[in-house]
Amino acid sequence: MLALALVLAASPVDVQLRNAALLGPSSRAPIGWALAAPVRVVSWPRSTLPRVRHDGPLGAFEVLVDLSREGTEVEARVRQPVRALGVGAWPVVLKAGAVLALQGHDAQGWQVAFLPEHHVPFSVMTLEDDARPVTRAVRPATPLRFRLEDGGSGECAVDELFQTPTSEAPTLRLEPSRWTCLRAGDDVGGFSPVRAETDLLEVSGWVRRASVRCDGVSSGLGLSGLGAGAGDGLLEAEAATLPKGTKLLDAAGGAVVTTLIRPARALALDGGAWRLEPLVRGSLTVQWSRVFLEPSVAPFRETQRWHGVGSSGSTASDWPRPRAATE
């Protein structure tokens, strides 16, 4: 347990539930959802099933999150520049602050994935648990420029990156408008060493001078956005106010997932379950949609009637989804 705690403490990423279904630790059934909730990974019962803990202004909770579940989106924000594994021999550095989709965790480390709108020639990468920060060389890289035919010089666009300075080397195809290329050393034959970068990552390689364009180039350090949505429904149920200090369980007699730090309105569901009104603080939202109360709690019930039930979401239809792990 001590070794696991040390590994998690050394995590190269900060984790946030961008939009995630919350699963009960004992029931492993959906009991709610959360938006924009920063969490700490406590353990990994499965490679795609982290147990996470949130501590914030709406109270603390500890639940499971299934990264393979449709609609669940969990972000990993890189803490400091680190090298990535799982990309063959390509020297790839993820930048501090880069936000990627968390895919899971295995013996090699944290699995992260890119979205299509990131426009990078990679899909999934691995970050070691004890990854050390990358430090810059004393000699800084400069914009890639070549002398033009009219005697001047211009900044250049690159659409193909070579792994080594030979025509037979493995290559990467780049979208020139998305990348900025910086010279990283002296030429070798007809090739120039470069560092190609976006706002998320850097890739080191070589460009063939004869195929480089040096006109009408724009910076590739752009940003992309993701969508959001909301809706409402109706539910016939009894309403009640749950007192401060009420413990919410993931099943009748199950595990405690959170303790209310203030009174909360709730609706009684079938089988003794309860649905609470969404808890909101800024962009942080937590909704307990099917939880149970400790036996000692006796909430005041009101007359059964129809109630509006809010719902919210912030999903990307092409969010990279890991394959569900088997028990």
Question: How high is the mean pLDDT of the chain?
Answer: 82
Query: Which residue has 């990348």 as its token pair?
Result: 179
Find the helix or strand (DSSP H, E) in which 285 lies: strand 284-288
Over residues 87-128, the pLDDT tens digits come to 889 999 999 999 999 999 999 999 999 998 888 899 999 999
Give the Cα separation of 244 and 152 in Å (integer).
Answer: 72
Average pLDDT over residues 131-139: 73
Q: Angle at the Cα of 77 (from 39 to 19), degrees rounded to 5?
A: 55
Query: Which residue has 């016939």 as its token pair?
Result: 236
Give the Cα separation of 259 and 247 in Å (integer).
Answer: 4
Give the predicted TM-score (pTM) of the model. 0.82
Instruction: Write the CA distances from 134 to 66, 123, 128, 163, 218, integer angstroms.
Output: 31, 22, 13, 20, 27
Over residues 231-268, the pLDDT tens digits come to 344 445 688 889 899 999 999 999 999 999 999 989 98
Give the Cα separation of 47 and 186 in Å (integer).
Answer: 44
Give the Cα separation of 170 and 226 in Å (integer).
Answer: 33
